[in-house]
């Protein structure tokens, strides 16, 4: 179980569309207003978990054409995010929020978030906890994932709300942007490697 918890933490805390957009909502609208958006992300992530656990995601992704189209689109999207973050200049490159966050905006992001499928497929198909009790394992994993997912996303939301208020030097902003972009490129590289295996 400890390996599973560590994997959940490491897979969820790394930059991806969900956590980056949560930080962007915090920076643009503050912590309290961003909570609705994060609640939508939470609902959307649990829908992705349901698709993974029930096998619906596997059925859709079993089609090589659909899988290739989704992989290319996801890779392009992640490269776009990495470039946008890296070249944000002297401002921290959280994903810019253009309108007041809402539950629907967060909910709709997760089904198109490639990281959500990769993370949840890894967590729910690996790390066998109860080999003879599939549904018990699924319930325990859902509870564990959400117990870690919620505080991590709240921390990113809070970080966005607080970091935007700090007056950091331009060099510090650039270093943060480059680090976040490198993390996003790492996600792209891992996804590309996983398709070669």
Q: What is the mean pLDDT of the chain?
A: 78
Report pLDDT for 197.
47
In a domain, 174, yes or no: yes
Q: How confident is the model at residue 92 (pLDDT cuts 50, 70, 90)?
A: low
SS3 assignment, position 83: helix
**Could you report the per-residue pLDDT of 21-42, keeping only the tens digit for each?**
788 778 767 788 889 989 999 9
Q: Return the higher-pLDDT residue of 149 and 5.
A: 149
In a domain, 158, yes or no: yes
Q: What is the DSSP code string of 136-197?
A: HHHHHHHHHHHHHHHHHHHHHHHHHHHHTTS---HHHHHHHHHHHHHHHHHHHHHHHHHHH-
Q: How confident is the model at residue 172 (pLDDT cuts 50, 70, 90)?
A: confident
In a domain, 135, yes or no: yes
Q: Determine which helix (DSSP H) or strand (DSSP E) holds 81, and give its type and residue range.
A: helix 64-86
Report the first-to-last Cα separation within the chain, whole angstroms: 26
Least confident of 44-53, 118-127, 177-186: 177-186
Please work out, in degrees rounded to the nearest 5, the angle formed at the alpha carbon of residue 5 by the alpha carbons of 101 and 144: 55
Report pLDDT for 151.
96
Q: How confident is the model at residue 183 (pLDDT cuts 50, 70, 90)?
A: low
In a domain, 197, yes or no: no
Number of domains in the chain: 1
Domain of 124 in residue numbering reads as: 2-8+17-192
Report pLDDT for 171.
80
**Could you report the per-residue pLDDT of 129-156, keeping only the tens digit for each?**
888 888 898 999 999 999 999 999 999 9
pTM of this prediction exceeds 0.85: no
SS3 assignment, position 53: helix
Least confident of 67-81, 135-149, 182-196: 182-196
Q: How confident is the model at residue 164 (pLDDT cuts 50, 70, 90)?
A: low
For the chain, helix (H) and strand (E) counts, in that order, are: 9, 0
């Amino acid at each position: 179980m400890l390996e599973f918890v560590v994997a959940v933490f490491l897979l969820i805390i790394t930059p991806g569309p969900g956590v980056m957009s949560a930080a962007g909502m915090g920076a643009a609208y503050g912590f309290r207003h961003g909570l609705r958006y994060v609640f939508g992300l939470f609902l959307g992530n649990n829908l992705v978990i349901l698709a993974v656990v029930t096998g619906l995601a596997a059925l859709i992704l079993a089609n090589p054409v659909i899988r290739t189209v989704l992989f290319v689109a996801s890779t392009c999207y992640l490269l776009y995010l990495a470039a946008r973050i890296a070249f944000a200049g002297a401002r921290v490159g959280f994903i810019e929020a253009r309108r007041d966050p809402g539950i629907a905006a967060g909910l709709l992001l997760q089904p198109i978030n490639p990281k959500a499928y990769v993370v949840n497929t890894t967590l729910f198909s690996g790390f066998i906890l109860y080999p003879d009790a599939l549904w018990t394992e699924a319930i325990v994993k859902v509870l564990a994932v959400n117990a870690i997912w919620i505080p991590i996303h709240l921390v990113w939301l809070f970080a966005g709300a607080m970091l935007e208020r700090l007056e950091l030097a331009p060099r510090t902003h650039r270093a943060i942007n480059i680090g976040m972009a490198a993390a996003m490129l790492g996600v792209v590289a891992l996804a590309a490697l996983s398709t070669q295996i």
